[in-house]
Amino acid sequence: MATKNPTLASYTEPQLDVRVFKPAYDDAPVDFYEMLYDECERVGELLIQHIPVTPTKNGYVLKFGDASFTDFENVIADDPDVVLPALVSACHMTERIVREHVGVKNLYQHATPDAEIRGCEPVQEFIARGCQEYLVDDVPLETVLFLYFRSQERNRVQHARGSFFKDVHVALKDNGFAVVKDESAPGRPNFIVNASEPVELTSNSVAGKALKAKPNDVPKRARLAASRCGDIAEQVPGAKRVLVFKISGEPFPNDRVREKQRAKIHDQNREAIDAVFFEDELDEFIEYCDEHITVFGKNAEAPGAREESDASLDAWG
């Protein structure tokens, strides 16, 4: 009986089609999601290459229970930047939990083959062993890619939102103020503004939160920020408590809407929040700091400087 001659196509690796997942954020740029899909494709191709799989009509199923320690080590070693976080999320862990457990500040920057945990245990080996323990069932490849997609989407968007405070720091420093983020201070402010170094939270400081949010998320973020301002007010009542918001999109079609949004944020706790500014009002925020941070002495060139007598020092304890 004659057999059909194999063709080149029969040796061609199958193309991986990554499902399009619905974005969870409407303020992330298109190229951000294109980058995530590229990463999902890399993860999927490497898992198919190194982990036992079963093709089905609905896609590949990863046979994690049949994978050896070496299989996990090899797939990590091929592209640790994307495979490490993908396997961590597949184990239903978070980078923070793993990072704290192994005692490193940034898990993935230690992802090179010779990187070690606590100077004695290779990171890739540690994760590979963890995968053997946690990943023992058959799992659809699409599930692993979805977990990676969602975890990276959330982490990176939140990081981008959280970095708005750095823009505020730059504006303050450019205008001669000293500013730091201090998570250990009351209210965990991401800016504490003083006239000069060293920066500490005192009754002669302006402190609070610089936050980025989607319009629908503003009330939730404002409630938490107001609570943080309340902590500052309780511990350091003389400090001025300020919130600076960057709201995505075009949130203020007119001044009436702007002031309505400002009032909604302020109303979360008017006793704790002294002022609310928006991203396009950083000049006004600088003027506020200039007005409320007293520089003792006669250096009129310093921000907030106004001549103070020795007697006025009594007001500051």
Strand partners, 56: 59
Strand partners, 277: 244
pLDDT of amino acid 300: 39
Q: Indicate the burial class of 81 (C-beta count within 10 angstroms; 0-12, 13-18, 19 or more).
A: exposed
Comparing CA positions, the residue from 157, 262, 168 lying closest to residue 209 is 168
pLDDT of amino acid 154: 82
Helix locations, the chain, DSSP H:
30-50, 69-78, 80-90, 95-102, 123-134, 141-162, 164-174, 218-235, 255-266, 282-292
State the Cα–Cα distance between residues 217 and 9, nearest whole angstrom.
51
- Give the chain's length: 317
Q: Which amino acid is at 297?
A: G
Cα first-last separation, the chain: 102
pLDDT of amino acid 132: 87
pTM for the model stands at 0.54
Comparing CA positions, the residue from 229, 242, 233 lying closest to residue 288 is 242
Q: Provide the pairing of β-strand 116-117 with 59-63.
A: unpaired
Please say whether the beta carbons of 152 and 36 come within 8 A: yes
pLDDT of amino acid 30: 76
Domain residue ranges in the chain: 20-159, 164-316
State the Cα–Cα distance between residues 63 and 52, nearest whole angstrom.
5
pLDDT of amino acid 19: 81
Under DSSP, the state recorded for 295 is B
Q: What SS3 state is found at 26? A: coil
State the Cα–Cα distance between residues 230 and 153, nearest whole angstrom.
31
pLDDT of amino acid 307: 45
Laid out side by side, the sheet with 59-63 consists of 53-56, 59-63, 138-140
Per-residue pLDDT in tens (0 to 9) along the chain, 317 residues:
344 443 434 333 445 777 888 888 766 777 888 899 999 999 999 999 999 999 998 899 999 999 999 999 899 888 888 898 899 889 887 766 666 665 655 555 544 444 443 444 566 777 888 888 888 899 999 999 999 999 888 888 776 666 789 999 999 999 999 999 998 999 999 999 999 999 999 999 999 999 988 888 899 889 999 999 999 999 999 999 999 999 988 889 899 999 999 999 999 999 999 999 999 999 999 999 999 998 754 333 444 444 444 444 344 34
Residue with tokens 């690796």: 13
Q: State the Cα angle at 169 between 163 and 172, rounded to 5°.
A: 155
Q: Is the peptide bond before 303 cis (omega within 30 degrees of 0)?
A: no
Spatial neighbors of 132 by CB under 8 A, at least 6 apart, are 67, 69, 72
Under DSSP, the state recorded for 181 is -
